[in-house]
Amino acid sequence: MTAMPANLSGLDLRAEIERLRKERNAVILAHYYQRPELQDIADFVGDSLELSRKAAETDADVIAFCGVKFMAETAKILSPEKIVVLPDMEAGCSLEDSCPPEKFAAFRAAHPDHIALTYINCSTEVKALSDIIVTSSSAETILQQIPADQKIIFGPDRHLGGYLSRKFGREMLLWPGVCIVHEAFSETELLKLKAQHPTAPIAAHPECPPHIVDHADYVGSTSGILNYAKTVEADTLIVATEPHIIHQMQLAIPNKTFIGAPGADGNCNCNICPYMALNTMEKLYIALRDLEPRVEIDEQLRLDAKRSLDRMLDMASGTVGKGDLGSR
Ligand code: SF4
């Protein structure tokens, strides 16, 4: 974790970050699951696919990535000539942790007639072992381009893979990883909440287990859920994904009410992503000031991982929104 100097308390962090952003010719990218103050200072806020595209297109010299490590690594894979900093290098992901490259390689070797369709929430090494990367906003479009008789391994999120498999009637070998945040939603508490707000639709991310997704009126990526919030007629929406996305909903549609779906005791913070929460304004300031911690990737590994990412960008091309997982 980044060491935190004791003398930051007198600083106007927002002004300092603005100054450094100009001095460094930096772009600040933030995921929807980041703290509101990081979303507010970012040049661009988006989901994994949108942020990948921004990272590939930017002409900035420095990318300050407010997200988790696999996202910052994706930015470096796509923009190797840029300096990519992540405010806290400990910002990992339970899905990445669930899929060690050596075990994934052995699984692939045991199923040589399968291609590996892999969720972007994985390490650079696993991307290098994969054929095509998907995000939750591109998975449906990409899956539909794969011939029906092609056997598929889907990893590391078994809930997203299971959702796609059920929706398209397509058998896939599923890696047994889960997101600890989406796994924490409680069906019992969700139904109690729904009883209190019977006209409020439920929007869920496909990383949620089936007992949550089955109650949803809309299933989609973070950007898909945000679009749904803007267009659905209801004035109250129940949101079953990491609750920091509600900040963008409140900014875009201030007259609607958004209620985060509850965790096990109905009142816990267990669906706030502990990895995303590691990034702070203080750490972003230090990252821009010191240009550390910096993402570095071995060049051969980067090229190997880029192949599967490039396939994603090609196959998802022109389909953001339209190619989302969509309404059920
Ligand atoms: S919300 Fe889940 S999938 Fe996203 S970074 Fe956190 S642990 Fe990983």
Report, as an integer, the average pLDDT of 173-183. Answer: 96
pLDDT in tens, 179-192: 999 999 999 999 99
Q: Using the Cα atoms of residue 120, residue 125, residue 126 and residue 131 in order, give the sign of their dihedral.
A: positive
How far are the Cα atoms of 13, 42, 153 from residue 292, in angstroms, in the given order?
A: 17, 18, 36
Domain 95-178+303-321 CATH superfamily: NadA-like (3.40.50.10800)
Ligand 1 probe mutation, 74, 120, 242, most atoms within 8 A of CB? 242
Nearest-atom number in ligand 1 for the CA of 275 is 6
For residue 157, report the distance from its CA to the centre of ligand 1, in Å: 10
Report, as an integer, the average pLDDT of 303-326. Answer: 74
| Distance in angstroms (rounded) separating the CA atoms of residues 91 and 282 | 15
pTM: 0.92
Compute the C-alpha angle 59/60/62, nearest 5°. 140
* CB distance 163 to ligand 1 below 6 Å: no
* CB distance 138 to ligand 1 below 6 Å: no
Taking the CA atoms of the chain, what radius of gyration do you get in angstroms? Answer: 19
The predicted structure's pLDDT at residue 268:
75
Q: State the chain's mean pLDDT as an integer.
A: 93
Given a contact cutoff of 8 angstroms between Cβ atoms, the answer to whether 200 and 234 are in contact is yes
CATH 3.40.50.10800, the chain: domain bounds = 6-92+276-290, 95-178+303-321, 182-260
Domain 182-260 CATH superfamily: NadA-like (3.40.50.10800)
Nearest-atom number in ligand 1 for the CA of 67 is 5
Report, as an integer, the average pLDDT of 16-45. Answer: 98
Which of 58 and 317 is assigned the larger pLDDT?
58
* CB distance 119 to ligand 1 below 6 Å: no
E strands along 120-253, which residues? 132-134, 151-155, 173-174, 202-204, 218-219, 236-240
Q: pLDDT at residue 328 above 70?
A: no
**Residue 110 CB partners (closer than 8 Å, separation 6+):** none
pLDDT in tens, 242-284: 999 999 999 999 999 999 999 877 677 788 999 999 999 999 9
* CB distance 180 to ligand 1 below 6 Å: yes
* CB distance 121 to ligand 1 below 6 Å: yes
Percent of the chain with pLDDT over 70: 94
For residue 33, report the distance from its CA to the centre of ligand 1, in Å: 9
* CB distance 68 to ligand 1 below 6 Å: yes
Ligand 1 probe mutation, 123, 275, 278, most atoms within 8 A of CB? 275
Q: pLDDT at residue 202 above 70?
A: yes
Report, as an integer, the average pLDDT of 207-211. Answer: 97
Nearest-atom number in ligand 1 for the CA of 91 is 5
Ligand 1 probe mutation, 93, 119, 242, most atoms within 8 A of CB? 93
Domain 6-92+276-290 CATH superfamily: NadA-like (3.40.50.10800)
The predicted structure's pLDDT at residue 326:
40
CA dihedral 276, 280, 285, 286 (to 10 degrees): -80
| Among candidate residues 268, 229, 224, the one with its CA nearest the CA of residue 250 | 229
